[in-house]
Structure formats: C-alpha cells, structure tokens
C-alpha cells in the first residue's frame, strides 16, 4: 500500500468519523428537541388536568347546590301537604258537625219540636254558617 493510498484511506476514515460525529450531534440535538417537546406536552397536559379538576369541582359544587335546593323544595312541599291535610281534616270535622246539626234539625222537624224555629229558618242559618266556615277555611291559605 502506497503512502497516497494510506492517506486516502485515512481521509476516508476521517470523513466517516466526521459523518459519524455529525450524525451523533444531530441525534443528540434531536433527543434534546424531543425532550423539550415532551416537557412542553407534559406542561400542557398538567394545565389541562388542572383545568379539568377545577371544572369538575365547579360541577360538583353546582350539583351539591341543586341537591340542597331539591331537599329544601321537598321539605317545603311536605310542609304544605301537611297544612293542606290539616285544613282538610278541619273541613271534614266541620262537615260532620254540620251534618249532625242538620240531622238534629230534621229530627226536631219530624217530632214537631220546631215551635221555636221553623225548618226553613234553620236551613238558612245553617247555610250561612257553612258559608262563613268555608270563607274562614279558604282565608287561612
């Protein structure tokens, strides 16, 4: 092998080594760029996760408020229902009393004990009393 061949071979080897070093540098730069991109993606993902967590907290707070409102409305409805039931019960008692009074008046009429008050007057008074009771009952609402 001549000196020129050796020199040419060395130059080729140096060229290959230089290409290898350049390739390694490009590879390292590429890895650094990938790491940087990964860091940016991780940062972006963290921000998205934080935003999702904040949104979920808000949704849970709204849901909790809605549930509390529903409970309050249900309690108010139950209270109104109880008041209506009490009012209906009072009306039933008044109706029963009116029926007893009506039966008594009819009984007086049948036994000719209506000397003090005739049946027509008693019915008028009874109807008036029923109107007053109904008026008081509907006024309590």
Residues 6+ apart with CB under 8 A from 108: 114, 119, 122
Domain membership of residue 78 as a residue range:
3-139
Q: Which of 120, 116, 125 minimizes the C-alpha distance to 98?
A: 125
SS3 1: coil
Tokens in use for 66? 């809605």
Q: Following CA atoms 134, 135, 140, 141 in sequence, which dihedral angle do they give, to the nearest 10 degrees?
A: 80
Count of domains in the chain? 1
Indicate the DSSP class of residue 118.
Answer: -
- 77-132: pLDDT as tens digits: 999 999 999 999 999 999 998 998 888 777 766 666 555 556 677 788 888 988 88
Average pLDDT over residues 34-48: 96
The per-residue pLDDT for 14 is 93
């Amino acid at each position: 092998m001549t000196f020129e061949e050796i020199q040419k071979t060395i130059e080729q080897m140096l060229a290959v080594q230089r290409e290898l070093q350049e390739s390694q540098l490009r590879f390292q730069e590429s890895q650094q760029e990938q790491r940087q991109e990964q860091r940016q993606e991780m940062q972006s993902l963290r921000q998205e996760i934080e935003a999702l967590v904040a949104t979920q907290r808000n949704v849970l707070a709204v849901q909790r408020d809605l549930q509390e409102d529903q409970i309050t409305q249900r309690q108010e409805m139950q209270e109104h229902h109880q008041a209506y039931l009490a009012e209906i019960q009072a009306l039933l008692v008044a109706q029963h009393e009116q029926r007893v009074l009506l039966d008594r008046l009819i009984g007086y009429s049948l036994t000719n004990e209506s000397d003090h008050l005739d049946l027509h007057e008693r019915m008028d008074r009874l109807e008036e009393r029923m109107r007053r009771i109904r008026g008081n009952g509907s006024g309590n609402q």
